[in-house]
Amino acid sequence: MKRSNEPIFWSLFGAGGMLAALIGPALVFITGIAVPFGLIFKPDTMSYAHMLAFSQSWAGKIFLLAVIALFLWHAAHRIHILLHDFGVHAVTAVRILCYGGAFAGTVIAAYTLLALGS
Amino acid sequence: MAEAEKIIEIEVLRYRPEQEKEPVLQTYKVPFTDDMSVLQGLQYIKDYLDGTLSFRWSCRMAICGSCGMMVDGKPKLSCKTFLREYYPGRLRVEALSHLPIERDLIIDAGDFVKKLESIKPYIIPKEARTLEQGEHLQTPQQRDMYEQFSSCINCMLCYAACPQYGLNPKFTGPGVLALLHRYNADSRDGGSAARNELGYADEGFWGCTAVGYCSEVCPKGVDPANAINQNKMNSAINYFTRFVTPGGAGK
Amino acid sequence: MNNRRPYVRSMDGWWKRDPYFIRYMAREVTAVFVAAYAVLLLVGLVRLGQGKEAYEAWLQALTSPLSMVFHLVVLAVFCYHTWSWFNIMPKTMPIIFVGGKRLQPGTITGTGLAASVIACLAVLFIVRGMS
């Protein structure tokens, strides 16, 4: 039988899922609740100056790319399976949509981070 | 017996291909005692109410794997499920889900048997062994690595539980993959490479999405979900290192 | 033999047939929210690349009540993801012996959840320290 290519997508799914499981709640809380509404953190935590400096550091670039890309690849794999579970039969179209979307997001994020320079 | 007779309603999904196009529900009123299993309820129906009812059974003690069926929508061994749990009221009995119905509560197990044969379900020694060498020796810990997976009684409840098998019958399925792992995990065995040609395919371990219901319904605690999902890591490592390691395309 | 006409039942709506399947679907659906949050971050990153005004417009949008509600929902979903992730993790691991005894699924799940609490607190402290 033909060897499956699932390991590629499953590994990305696993990495993204683990990252989301470990720090996802904290990230959502910080970026979506605490900082915008002035809780716990200083109001300028996510200011343009701060985020520009963060995205220009190599640690910042790696962190931002990891979070955005891995979350997208994790979601792509699971949504692809979800659509299959719901009975959507257009397998190739679903794969292109899901993994293509994650790939596009990864490329956009990488390009933007590189373009921001250091 | 001083107590009044208790009656329970058993609603059965009948299917007689020679007389109906589609399965149809039929209800029977069955007198029962607290010690009676669903199987005994069906036997009462066949003996006294409707001799045309067809169903498989044998040992009536949860070891032969013959009497699997859906009881109120859940895969169960009818000999191990008791009428008292559904009283008062009624229970619905249907053939195992995700498998074609032959007649009444009997499913077509042909696909399962074919798959069972396809995974080489026997020890393939690592090297040829003579009688003089004696038995394989195995520590209790080595035995623990595969023992629970060897408990499978081929009852197919896990197939009735597995939606991925229901959606795609090409998927090898929980029970057979658990058995595949049972042999791969046995220290006496050297046939992993051959078995993983199936295991590492889309129809093998990768057809599983970790729903986990198979392990919930297994009457023998085999835990096929674990047997399958622990192999995804092996498969992935093998996938990425196969061009690098010596003889890496195999195990 | 000619009388055989095996009947194949439909899989339509299979996931509604049992609470177990509904919980499975809930676990899988978390992916939609993970994707939504990632896209939101991506948009923010792109806006950052477009300059101060563009980025600050994105930041401003995060202060709307709609955004607050969205993020509360996403937070709840991420917590459920963490919970369901470490609950299924024991199934993905081989049989491991620790000090002669078999490592229990509950231990694996508990360790994972604890790691998540510690990691989240660490992130909170690091961000606090950076700001």
| Owner of token pair 């950076």 | C130
Residue B250 has a pLDDT of 46
Among the listed residues B201, B224, B207, B210, the one whose alpha carbon sits nearest the alpha carbon of residue B154: B224
Kindly list the structural domains of chain B, giving each domain's residue range(s) and its CATH number in brackets, ordered by start.
6-107 (3.10.20.30), 110-241 (1.10.1060.10)
Mean pLDDT of A5-10: 96
Contacts of C92 in chain B (CB under 8 A): 210, 229-230, 232-233
**What value does the mean pLDDT take over residues A105-117?**
95
- Averaged over successive runs of 10 residues, the pLDDT of chain B (251 residues) comes to 79 96 97 96 98 97 97 98 94 98 97 96 91 92 95 98 97 98 96 95 96 97 97 95 69 42
What pLDDT score does A118 carry? 79
Average pLDDT over residues C31-49: 97
CA distance B202 to chain A (A): 5
Closest by Cα among B245, A108, A29, A115 to C39: A108
- In angstroms, the CA B9 to CA B92 distance is 9
Instruction: Supply the pLDDT for residue B137.
Output: 92
Reply yes or no on whether the pLDDT at A18 is more than 70.
yes
Which of B22, B99, B217, B229 is the best mutation test for C, with the most CBs of C within 10 A?
B229
Q: A20 vs chain B: nearest CA distance in angstroms? A: 18
Distances (CA, A) of B55 to A23, B50, C78, C106: 53, 12, 47, 39
A18 and C85 in contact by Cβ < 8 A?
A: yes
Show the domains of chain A with their CATH numbers.
6-115 (1.20.1300.10)
Q: What is the pTM of this model?
A: 0.93
pLDDT of residue B243: 85
Residues 6+ apart with CB under 8 A from B229: B205, B208, B210, C91, C92
Instruction: Indicate the residue of C20, C93, C95 with minimum beta-carbon distance to B213.
Output: C20
Place of tokens 């609603």: B11
User: Among all chains, which residue has been given the structure tokens 């990305």?
Assistant: A12
